[in-house]
Amino acid sequence: MIKERQTFVTNELVDLVRQLDHETFLHGMRVGEMSYKFSRYLDLSLHQSNQLHFIGYVHDIGKLKIPISIVTKRGPLTDFEWNLMKNHTIYGYELLKDFSYHRDILKTVRYHHENIDGTGYEGLRSNEIDFNSKVIRIIDSFDALTHDRCYRKKCSIELSLKKIQKQSGTVYDQDLVKEFTKFICKLY
């Protein structure tokens, strides 16, 4: 049996993450940081909080396997490009598996685009989605909404939160959205 890696960040991994485009790199840093803070707010164990911090940092690492011209494209993606882009969850899972990361980390990198109602990338439903993936699903969206993207301008914190609340129970986990709302109100 392969021994699972205990240390989260290694030099090899840092080298890889640095190869991501600047926007994806910064997004990962922010998602990691906010996931850690939210985990502490939820009173999760320090181990799980550190794990979520790490997952946030690397959740989009699979984008390394997608042509940079598609990842950084300014403007809408074609159907072909969009389908390719969606593979980043599986690519990320495979990449980190080669590094022998813990199965909990692999699972979240793979399932961070699953929706509660089963309409996500792989069609998993609420009880089939791991807790960490549900957390990253919210924070990933919140960060994307509150920052400029090449194809749209950022939304205010208030509007971003409203957009997430509107999809509570369909895209996002209801209980976590309630907690996230309290967390954001406390933070800002």
Binding-residue total with Fe ion (CB under 5 A): 1
Q: Which stretch binds Fe ion (CB under 5 A): 24-32, 57-65, 73-81, 114-122?
A: 57-65
- CB nearer to Fe ion: give 60 or 143: 60
Q: Which residues pair with 152 in a beta bridge?
A: 149
Query: Which amino acid, 133?
Result: S
Please spell the DSSP secondary structure of 82-134, one letter per residue: HHHHHTHHHHHHHHHHHTT--HHHHHHHHHTT--TTS-STT---GGGS-HHHH
Q: Please list, in sequence order, all residues whose beta carbon lies within 8 angstroms of the beta carbon of residue 127, skipping any fewer than 6 positions away.
A: none
Q: Which stretch binds Fe ion (CB under 5 A): 7-15, 60-68, 164-172, 173-181?
A: 60-68
**For helices 103-111 and 46-58, angle between their N-to-C axes, nearest 10 degrees:** 50
Q: Strand, coil or helix: what is 44?
A: coil
- CB nearer to Fe ion: give 39 or 141: 141
- CB nearer to Fe ion: give 19 or 158: 19
* Binding residue for Fe ion, selected from 49, 60, 171, 180, defined by CB under 5 A: 60
Q: Which residue is nearest to Fe ion (CB)?
A: 60
Q: Closest distance between Fe ion and the C-beta of residue 92, in Å?
A: 8
Task: Please say whether the beta carbons of 19 and 68 come within 8 A.
Answer: no
Q: Which stretch binds Fe ion (CB under 5 A): 8-16, 54-62, 95-103, 121-129?
A: 54-62
Q: Strand, coil or helix: what is 172?
A: strand
Contacts with Fe ion, 86-125, as mask; x by CB under 5 A:
----------------------------------------
Q: CB-based burial of residue 11 (10 Å sphere; 0-12 exposed, 13-18 middle, 19+ buried)?
A: exposed
Residue 173, interface with Fe ion (CB under 5 A)?
Answer: no
Q: Which stretch binds Fe ion (CB under 5 A): 59-67, 148-156, 161-169, 175-183?
A: 59-67
Q: Closest distance between Fe ion and the C-beta of residue 44, in Å?
A: 22
The residue ranges that bind Fe ion (CB under 5 A) are 60
